[in-house]
């Protein structure tokens, strides 16, 4: 990638000044020379900016390639598209050829493994032994999600079912691909805002739009490929029937609040430092990871508050820690670092990018949306290119009007739904924790 030198301005400027002083209109001449310098370098800046965003896009799409491979493998072997994500844990055991899926969104754990070819009703005891071995092997995992002492499985909850691809599988995969693409477009918008150079707003929008078209084309390609593969595997499973042993159990209803409670002391400490509501942090953490410190999405984002190392992580490093570099994913799996980073990013959004919003509720709605999609897209929801102009409009509206404007006009469905969910959860945490939040 070509590096653009900014030293040319400092070298040329003294010469321009000395020449301009002897002219009839020295300041006009100086302005003309500097403007010419800017024009001469415009194409160079635009090329650098386009290449920079292109590299970011390639980095994002590389993680989607991993997800696509996992999805194909899952449908081929298990008949479904259950893959690791920010709210789903998937653990494989080579010894038992089993798969354990912890779905934090649905609140259930499922264990599967291929049924022996000679499996009969008399072999139920053998199946039970395998399931209980898997439970024992994953004891720590079960405890992490809410089972203090995992209870042994019984024959009443262990079934042998034929492996088949369900009719809704393609629609589930399609919707996931759409959501992934929208989240990546949001991150592209945030990255573009953070890496502003001497490129005019219209040119910047053109370059960003070109990169979004790349993401859109990739989305359509992935959907077509997924549809073909799912149809193929549906036929394979019909022509070559196999069976799967399945055990499913609900995670205790108290597990979510217990996981949240384990992080509440740290949340209160970091929130207090920045004047944030702990209920806001809890609601975002709930939506982002269901309080799973090892959560990783295919944006990619990491940990409890789903920090993207190159956008939110870089911002916090640069503006808070004095380190102009992206964060490391390994650090973001540390709950203390993740909570510190997530709360500081909320603080940066509130007191830097969206500074000046007078009504506290309006500010909170705007910050929630910006946490997901960036302050630039908040501005777009109010029909503005510049955030400062959007803030003027926000300050002329009631908080209810601001909320309705955001959930109606934010650029992405994913962000509109995100704002609704986080707002509802925030109110719930406030209602149930008045003594502590």
* pLDDT tens figures, 320-365: 999 999 999 999 999 999 999 999 999 999 999 999 999 999 999 9
Tell me what pLDDT residue 35 has.
46
* pLDDT tens figures, 169-226: 999 999 999 999 999 999 999 999 887 667 788 888 999 999 999 999 999 999 999 9
Tell me what pLDDT residue 1 has.
43
Return the domain boundaries, the chain. 1-252, 255-432
Average pLDDT rounded to a whole number, residues 22-46: 53
Name 175's Cβ contacts closer than 8 Å, sequence gap at least 6: none
- Please give the residue that has the higher pLDDT: either 299 or 110: 110
CATH placement of domain 255-432: 1.10.530.10
In the structure, what pLDDT confidence band is assigned to residue 110 with cuts at 50, 70 and 90? very high
E-assigned strand segments in 52-162: 88-93, 98-103, 108-114, 158-162
- Please give the residue that has the higher pLDDT: either 422 or 27: 422
Q: Global pTM? A: 0.85
Average pLDDT rounded to a whole number, residues 25-40: 46
Q: Which of 294, 250, 242 is nearest to 110 (CA)?
A: 250
pLDDT at residue 2 tops 50: no
Mean pLDDT of the residues in the chain: 87
The lowest-confidence range among 75-79, 201-205, 266-270 is: 201-205
In the structure, what pLDDT confidence band is assigned to residue 63 with cuts at 50, 70 and 90? confident
Tell me what pLDDT residue 89 has.
93
The lowest-confidence range among 34-48, 50-64, 319-333 is: 34-48
In terms of C-beta distances under 8 Å and separation of at least 24 residues, what long-range contacts does 265-274 make, across chains too?
266/335, 266/336, 266/339, 267/339, 267/343, 268/436, 270/339, 270/340, 270/343, 270/344, 271/343, 273/343, 274/343, 274/344, 274/346, 274/347
Tell me what pLDDT residue 148 has.
80
Residue 405 CB neighbours (<10 A): 21
Angle, helices 335-348/360-373, rounded to nearest 10 degrees: 120
């Amino acid at each position: 990638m070509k590096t653009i030198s900014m030293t040319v301005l400092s070298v040329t400027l003294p010469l321009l000044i000395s020449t301009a002083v002897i002219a009839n209109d020295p300041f006009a001449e100086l302005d003309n020379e500097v403007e010419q310098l800017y024009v001469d370098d415009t194409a160079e800046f635009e090329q650098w900016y386009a290449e920079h965003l292109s590299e970011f896009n390639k980095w994002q799409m590389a993680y989607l390639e991993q997800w696509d491979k996992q999805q194909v493998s899952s449908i081929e072997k298990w008949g479904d598209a259950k893959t690791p994500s920010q709210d789903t844990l998937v653990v494989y055991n080579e010894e038992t050829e089993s798969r354990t899926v912890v779905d934090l969104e649905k609140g259930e754990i499922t264990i599967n493994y291929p049924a022996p070819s000679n499996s009969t009703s008399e072999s139920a005891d053998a199946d039970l032994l395998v399931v209980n071995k898997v439970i024992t092997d994953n004891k720590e995992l079960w405890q992490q999600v809410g089972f203090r002492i995992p209870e042994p499985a019984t024959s009443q909850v262990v079934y042998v079912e034929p492996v088949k691809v369900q009719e809704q599988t393609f629609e589930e995969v399609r919707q996931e691909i759409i959501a992934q693409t929208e989240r990546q477009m949001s991150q592209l918008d945030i990255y573009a805002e953070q890496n502003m150079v001497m490129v005019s707003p219209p040119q910047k929008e053109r370059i960003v739009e070109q990169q979004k078209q790349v993401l859109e084309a990739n989305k359509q390609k992935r959907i077509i490929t997924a549809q073909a593969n799912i149809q193929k595997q549906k036929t394979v499973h019909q022509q070559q029937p196999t069976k799967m042993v399945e055990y499913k159990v609900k995670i205790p209803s108290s597990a979510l609040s217990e996981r949240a409670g384990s992080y509440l002391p740290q949340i209160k400490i970091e929130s207090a430092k920045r004047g944030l509501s702990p209920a806001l942090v809890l609601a975002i953490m709930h939506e982002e990871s269901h309080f799973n410190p090892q959560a990783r999405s295919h944006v990619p984002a990491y940990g409890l508050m789903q920090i993207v190392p190159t956008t939110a992580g870089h911002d916090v490093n640069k503006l808070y820690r004095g380190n102009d570099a992206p964060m490391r994913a390994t650090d973001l799996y540390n709950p203390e670092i993740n909570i510190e980073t997530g709360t500081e990013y909320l603080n940066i959004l509130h007191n830097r990018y969206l500074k000046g919003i007078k009504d506290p509720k309006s500010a909170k709605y705007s910050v929630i949306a910006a946490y997901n999609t960036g302050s630039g897209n908040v501005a777009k929801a109010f029909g503005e290119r510049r955030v400062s102009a959007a803030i003027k409009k926000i300050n002329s509206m009631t908080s209810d009007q601001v909320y309705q404007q955001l959930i109606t006009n934010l650029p992405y469905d994913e962000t509109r739904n995100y704002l609704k969910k986080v707002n509802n959860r925030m109110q719930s945490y406030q209602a149930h924790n008045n003594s502590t939040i």
